[in-house]
Amino acid sequence: MEPTTTTTKLNLTQDEIVGILESYSQAADRLKESHDVLQLEVRRLREELANKNRQLERRKRLAALGEMAAGLAHEIRNPLGGIQLYANLLKKDLTGQLEQLQIVDKIIMGVRSLDALVTDVLAMTHTVEPKFAAMDLVQVVGTAVELVQPQLAEKQSQVSIHSPASLEMFGDPNMLQRAFLNLIRNAVDAAGQGGQVFIDLNRKQKFILMQVADTGPGIDPEITDRIFNPFFTTKDTGTGLGLSIVHRIIEAHDGTIKVGNAPAGGANFTLKFPYKVSTVQSQGSE
């Protein structure tokens, strides 16, 4: 028997065909829109992943360096304690002998700066666990500025602070003071004789924003990527640990630190961290 074929004819009017084509074109537009949105989201997630990978790499590097540095610090601290002890004993024997006393004082100063270096290496490499407490951030910044007074007097430079009268929050006051001190010291150093440092501190909704800018030469864009790395320094007597400690402290407060140059030329460090009002309640989500 021959197979039979059935053909159904669609008797569509012109209006119906136009309607179908319009719906098709609208569906295609919607598909394109969702494709664009998806593409943007994929790009954002890729950037986030690259950022997290960079952070992870940095942590791994620091952990390896930390193990080595902690061992080294211990080995250095022991003989250092001995040198200090003997230098102090020698001092007692040298009463009245000015020239020799000056030499011993230089030895003691050397020991102190080595000890400070060891403390910095440990601060940079140890896992940083902040001890959160209620504190006034404005006061913490004020204390850091007071600590650089001798440097300011020597260089006849000035620090001006622009902030509210107080800014109560939860954070680790000792760590934050150390971070601010490092930033301000660097700024005073860079600004040089008669230079100026500007600190701007504010709360913007759920974040604390802080800027430390100076009238120094600014930062060469070629080194911007490296200045937060441990032991990176351009100074003859620098250790290159200051900014890596600042980075760790701000990270421990779930914050970020960026550097750029102010329009007037000097360096401009921008800090941003969540405004926390208790140890448990983080108000930092955007």
The reply to whether 121 sits near ligand ADP by the rule CB under 6 A is: no
The reply to whether 164 sits near ligand ADP by the rule CB under 6 A is: no
Name the minimum Å distance from CB 117 to ligand ADP.
10
Judged by CB under 6 A, the residue of 135, 145, 199, 227 near ligand ADP is 227
Which residues ranging from 9 to 38 are in contact with ligand ADP (CB under 6 A)? none
Q: Are 171 and 203 in contact (CB under 8 A)?
A: no
Measured in degrees and rounded to the nearest 5, phi and psi for residue 201 equal -130, 130
Name the minimum Å distance from CB 28 to ligand ADP.
54
Name the minimum Å distance from CB 191 to ligand ADP.
8
**Total interface residues for ligand ADP by CB under 6 A:** 20
The reply to whether 219 sits near ligand ADP by the rule CB under 6 A is: yes
d(CA 30, CA 36): 10
The reply to whether 184 sits near ligand ADP by the rule CB under 6 A is: no
The reply to whether 267 sits near ligand ADP by the rule CB under 6 A is: yes
Judged by CB under 6 A, the residue of 121, 179, 190, 201 near ligand ADP is 190
Q: What angle do CA 136, 139, 145 make, to 5 degrees?
A: 150
The reply to whether 159 sits near ligand ADP by the rule CB under 6 A is: no
Judged by CB under 6 A, the residue of 66, 173, 195, 242 near ligand ADP is 242
Name the minimum Å distance from CB 263 to ligand ADP.
15
Q: Any residues with CB less than 8 A from the CB of 212 and at least 6 apart, and which?
A: 180, 183, 184, 187, 197, 198, 199, 268, 269, 271
Judged by CB under 6 A, the residue of 19, 194, 238, 265 near ligand ADP is 238
Q: Is the dihedral of CA 187, 190, 191, 194 positive or negative?
A: positive
Measured in degrees and rounded to the nearest 5, phi and psi for residue 135 equal -150, 160
Site residues (CB under 6 A) for ligand ADP? 182, 186-187, 190, 214, 216, 219, 227, 232-235, 238-244, 267
